[in-house]
Chain A
């Protein structure tokens, strides 16, 4: 295992006066898949937003490759090599697939590598190549999620943050997405994954954190947590037992 690519150290995050993250620390080692799981409202999405600069911590600090992200804006954070695929995908639905991908390669660092990145995206997602002239809004839910991930990869990230990538997808696409995360990780992309599909997420994660009301409730290797009776009882239960 390599060094820490991302370190979150004792951050407090507030929405107005409401604190949603309390003195939270996590670390992500280079080349791993790290899962953040927990109930709705536990602060998972907020943590990703804070890392990508959409929100800022009131206290504590976030280090990426040893550099403090401080008050950097999202457009600056993505240029450092952190790409965030937000919940709900947030594609530009009136723009074509190709235009979405072009904007993904907007950071100066990524622009010169556009041709290679595009080729890589199309080889990972052949369906996007066939549909490159179509409006993003006309794609199916699964295809839109693929486009959202492909668009984030166009920036050439070292760290890819995925917020609920399997949400609302059919089981076949859920399987595809998790296989894809595995493939990307094999290609040296470090992944920070927020998932409501806890069983699947823990299965592929090297390291996982269970969040509860803005604090870390448990952490450990993915397979350890998966086997933990408490996690089984609280988060997995009947619903996922068949998968």
Chain B
């Protein structure tokens, strides 16, 4: 195998890895925000992504709405749904600071969504096929599928958007403050429910965006999301909990590891390598690979 190795191939592997990893990255940013304020890993993140991939699929097949145009609908809907989830499902547990209940609710949500999606859309894999689905850009003889390039672009824009929201707005600053000390934010006059709801709005909003990019790039089925959420968790661990830029980089790094791993070791080892890296990072650098030890957002 190694005798076929060329610079072009290496670059191709790296590019594929980066493009692949950006989706883990957006999911990881959502996990990071919800973890920051609620202190739980929102495992239903992956199921939500697949759910929105189906919504995107429906909008495309039933109404003929282009997937990228559907972002204009899906992003606000998913953000509202995030706020609804918080007030409807998690508020009571959050008030009691009961993380076990919050975690169980998230797990319950996974099973609900997976079964709901199986009933509505069946267990058969679905994919969106548009005029540009198989379009491949070939700069310098490297294959860059158009939809994956768009996924990268969307991921970077979302990250920049979230970053500026957290840095430049008062409520964004409040979200960062709450991920440090919720009690202290209440003494500032900040309603903790509102901050949690904002974190959910962004976290679930990002699943909407990731769902659209997923639908344009891969075929998916109702249970595809769970492993995706686990991968996002690995990306989060690589980037460091509570660090938005790090979460995206962690996703990209994971994509690279998988891309190189599946070429050099074999695709069957993909998950083993990913989780091996996860364990190594948590053991030796639990604060993540990027930035300082307690650096936030």
Contacts and interface: CB of A to CB of B under 8 A. Distances in A.
Main SS class of interface, B: helix
B191 to A, nearest CB: 5
Contacts of B191: 73, 75
B296 A94 contact: yes
Q: Which residue, B183, B185, B187, has most C-beta atoms of chain A within 10 A?
A: B187
Interface in B179-213: 180-181, 183-192
Interface string A26-67: 000000000000000000000000001110000000000000
Contacts of A223: none
A224 interface: no
A107 B189 contact: yes
B176 A92 contact: yes
Contacts of A107: 188-189
Contact of B183 (A78, A79, A90, A99): A90
A54 B186 CA distance: 9
A71 interface: no
B295 A103 contact: no
Interface of B: 170, 173-174, 176-177, 180-181, 183-192, 294-297
B173 A93 contact: no
Nearest to B295: A94
Nearest to B173: A99
Contact of A90 (B170, B173, B184, B297): B184
29 contacts: A54-B183, A73-B191, A74-B183, A74-B187, A75-B188, A75-B189, A78-B187, A78-B188, A78-B189, A83-B187, A86-B184, A90-B181, A90-B184, A92-B176, A92-B184, A94-B296, A95-B173, A99-B173, A99-B177, A102-B173, A103-B173, A103-B185, A103-B190, A106-B188, A106-B189, A107-B188, A110-B189, A155-B188, A155-B189
Given A103-B188, A107-B189, A94 B180 contact: yes
A199 interface: no
Closest 8 CB pairs of A and B: A107-B189, A90-B184, A74-B186, A78-B189, A94-B296, A92-B177, A106-B189, A103-B188
A158 interface: no
Interface of A: 52-54, 73-75, 78-79, 83-84, 86, 90-95, 99, 102-104, 106-107, 110, 151, 155
A74 B189 CA distance: 7
Given A103-B177, A110-B189, 19 more contacts: A74-B186, A75-B190, A78-B188, A78-B189, A83-B187, A84-B187, A86-B183, A92-B176, A92-B177, A93-B294, A94-B176, A94-B180, A95-B176, A95-B180, A104-B188, A106-B170, A106-B189, A106-B190, A107-B189
A78 B185 CA distance: 11
A79 B189 CA distance: 6
Contacts of B181: 90, 92
A232 B137 CA distance: 84
A135 to B, nearest CB: 9
Contacts of B190: 75, 103, 106
A75 B173 CA distance: 16
A92 to B, nearest CB: 4
A119 B136 CA distance: 57
Contacts of B174: 103, 106
Contacts of A78: 187-189
A91 B189 CA distance: 14
Nearest to A54: B183
Nearest to B189: A107
